[in-house]
A and B are shown apart, each in its own frame.
Chain A
Amino acid sequence: MLWKKQIPLAITFIMGLLLGIQYFVPHRISENFFQGYLDWAIVIGIFAAILSYISFYRVHGMRIKKKAPAWQYSVVAIVMSVTMALFGFIQGREEGMVFMNMYSYILVAIEGTMFSLLAFYISSAAYRAFRARSTQATALLLAAIIVMLGRVPLGESISFWHNIWPSLPTFTGIANWILNVPNMAAKRGMQLGIGLGIMMLSLKIILGIERSYMGSGD
């Protein structure tokens, strides 16, 4: 119990206290301590990253070993990771090398397309979610439409009223106003809430009230 729970909790408390106080002490020792911590954190991260690689090869290796459904895709994942790493280590990362071509024509192509797919799904989800069922939902729908129109040249060209009364803003102007005024107010309110929430959670962690990050078991 002492080694498995109390000492780790004491480490959390001591580190939390030290790093919390350090912020308010503008002394060379305090700054050196903080820089030392940052160096340590990077090294911990470097070695902790091994966990992610082991986990990847273990999960896919098990799928192949057990001949799990669609195990062939795991072979693809492992082969691609090894190929990419070998080309990176052997050939280097200069422009025109296989490593960079795999990055530009495979990784960027797939990830870019995957993110763009969301444009289709987000639109169909919006149709179902935003059907102006209430005045508040209508406000959301209108704000979204105006911002979308304000971001493209079409919005500027269909703002016919601007030609009649030049003092009235175009869709671009209205979109900018929505983004800079009511949207800013909403975001700021949320930011304040998030900030206070982070502080409360951090305090709970340091005091040992919140322990879920330690995982279950003894």
Chain B
Amino acid sequence: MHISMNPWVWIGVFFTFSVLSFLYKDNPFYKLAEHVTVGVSIGYGLVIWWTNSVIPRFYIPVFEQGQWILIIPAILGLMMVLRIVPKYSWLSRYAICFSVGAGSGMAIPRSMQAQVLRQLEATMLNLSFTSGAGINNIIIFFGVLTVLVYFFFSKEHKGVFGGVAKVGIWFLMIGFGATFGYTVMARLSLFIGRVLFVLQDFLGINLAG
């Protein structure tokens, strides 16, 4: 064991345990870590915003390349800031409507393409009982169909329709369970990462042997 002398590692360990202390109950160490995160995130965002956005996407195109037209969206963006001035907050609507309208216009064909047609295309599989892949395709096909029936609320879930919808619930439950299991494992791997940081980086324990 060889404890690290790097002050940054000590700071990292301090904040790791400060956050973990929340498992006991909310306490000043956790609150400190929480506010430090907010502050550091804002500072980080400011630097990235300035160096990666303002300079290359606005300052250089406008003042060095003469794309003065970009002053118009800049004014629209500044109108968004007027949201915090009650008397002129309505001016922010121009920027919001510009962005929301364009976003909605883009969303209709793209959503149709990526989330509806592509998904339908991927469901039109080769169905057969003669191979494992064919049986899996049948399960996927009927699974999609039953889930869609379950989400169809314009007709009462009764009789055959209700029975099909119930099968859809089974598929959804298995899907939620799988997603849950996957999420838990992802969180656990993050936790393992923090434990390894304390054991290896801080305490200097060589786990590889």
Chain B residue at smallest Cβ distance from A56: B42
Q: Which residues of A contact B81 (CB under 8 A)?
A: 47-48, 50-51, 54
B123: interface (CB < 8 Å): yes
Given contacts A104-B8, A185-B139, contact A93 B23 (CB under 8 A): no
**A44 contacts B95, CB within 8 Å?**
yes
Question: Which of B51, B89, B103 has the most chain A CB within a 10 Å cutoff?
Answer: B103
CB neighbours (8 Å) of A188 from chain B are 119, 122-123, 140, 143-144, 147
Bound: A146/B48 CA distance, A = 42
Inter-subunit contact A42/B40 (CB<8 Å): no
In the bound complex, do residue B183 and residue A48 qualify as a contact, i.e. CB atoms below 8 Å apart? no
Q: Is the CB of B148 within 8 A of A202?
A: no
**Chain A residues within 8 Å of B38, by CB:** 56, 77, 80-81
Q: Which interface residue of B98, B141, B181 has the most chain A CB atoms within 10 A?
A: B181
Would you give the shortest CB distance from A197 to chain B, in whole angstroms? Answer: 9
For residue A218, give the distance in angstroms from its CB to the closest CB of chain B.
7
Contact with B along A12-44 (1 / 0, CB 8 A): 111111111111100000000000010111111
Contact with A along B101-131 (1 / 0, CB 8 A): 1111111111110111001101100000000
B199 at the interface (CB under 8 A from A): no
Chain A residue nearest to B49 in the complex (CB): A49
Cβ of A164 within 8 Å of any chain B Cβ, yes or no, is no
Chain A 114-127, CB-CB to B under 8 Å as 1, else 0, gives 11111110110010
Contact B148 A20 (CB under 8 A): no
Given A19-B106, A51-B83, A140 contacting B191 (CB threshold 8 A): no
Q: In the assembled complex, how far is the CB of residue A64 from the closest CB belonging to chain B, in whole angstroms? A: 12
Total residues of chain A contacting the partner, CB 8 A? 126
Interface-central residue, A17, A101, A106, A189, by most chain B CB under 10 Å? A189
Identify the interface centre among A76, A143, A195: most chain B CB within 10 Å of its CB: A195
- CB pair B144 A112 closer than 8 Å: no
Given A4-B90, A51-B83, A107-B40, does the pair A119, B177 have CB atoms closer than 8 Å? Answer: no
Could you tell me if A183 and B101 are in contact, using CB atoms closer than 8 angstroms? no
Number of residues in B with C-beta < 8 Å to the partner?
A: 116
Q: What's the dominant secondary structure at chain A's contact region?
A: helix
Are A84 and B171 within 8 A (Cβ)? no
Central interface residue in A139, A175, A194, by most chain B CB within 10 Å: A139
**What's the nearest-Cβ distance from chain A to residue B125, in Å?**
11
Residue of B nearest to A151 (CB): B185
User: Does B102 lie within 8 Å of A189, measured CB to CB?
Assistant: no
| Cross-chain contact B180 with A126 (CB below 8 angstroms) | yes
Instruction: Tell me, yes or no, whether B3 is within 8 Å of chain A by CB.
Output: no
Residues of A within 8 A of B181 (CB): 143-148, 151, 175
Which A-chain residue is minimally distant from B109 (CB atoms)? A23
Q: Beyond A43-B57, A81-B42, is A206–B19 a contact (Cβ under 8 Å)?
A: no
Give A contacts to B, CB under 8 Å: 3-5, 7-9, 11-24, 37, 39-56, 58, 70, 73-74, 76-85, 88-89, 93, 99, 101-107, 109-120, 122-123, 126, 136-137, 139-148, 151-152, 175, 177-196, 198-199, 201-203, 205-206, 213-215, 217-218
- 13 A–B contacts, CB within 8 A, in A order: A5-B93, A15-B102, A41-B99, A46-B74, A76-B32, A84-B42, A106-B15, A109-B13, A117-B23, A140-B174, A148-B184, A186-B171, A206-B104
Going nearest first, the 5 A-B pairs with the smallest beta carbon separation are: A47-B77, A185-B143, A84-B43, A189-B147, A195-B115
A106-B11, A110-B33, A205-B101 given; 14 more Cβ-contact pairs under 8 Å: A8-B96, A16-B104, A18-B105, A43-B74, A46-B53, A49-B53, A51-B84, A56-B38, A70-B31, A119-B188, A143-B174, A186-B174, A189-B143, A202-B105
